[in-house]
Amino acid sequence: MAEIKMTAEVRTDYDCEVIGLPAEMWAECLFKIEGEDDFHFELIAEKNPVIHLVIGDVQWKGTLKGLKELLKQNQ
């Protein structure tokens, strides 16, 4: 049997909520904003987790640690 390494939760302002979505290796979500670029987020649950962000035609892919460092630089 596969090992659950992470779970996902999604909430909206319409009081919609989904919790406990199981994943063994990866999960992704896609937000479609009317009149704007789509926002796509993917997480791969490896020993050093990988993050892939795509907003329209701009993308970034790296490790969770790398994303934290990037965000700290821009504070």
- Which tens digit of pLDDT belongs to each residue from 3-56? 888 999 999 999 999 999 999 999 999 999 999 999 999 999 988 999 999 999
Cβ atoms 45, 31 nearer than 8 A = no
Q: What is the pTM of this model?
A: 0.82
Cβ atoms 44, 50 nearer than 8 A = yes
* pLDDT > 90 in the chain, percent: 84
Which two structure tokens, joined as six digits, stand for 11? 């909430």
Residue 6 half-sphere exposure toward CB, CA atoms < 13 A: 13
Q: Which amino acid is at 16?
A: C
Q: Looking at residue 57, what DSSP letter applies?
A: T
pLDDT score, position 1: 64
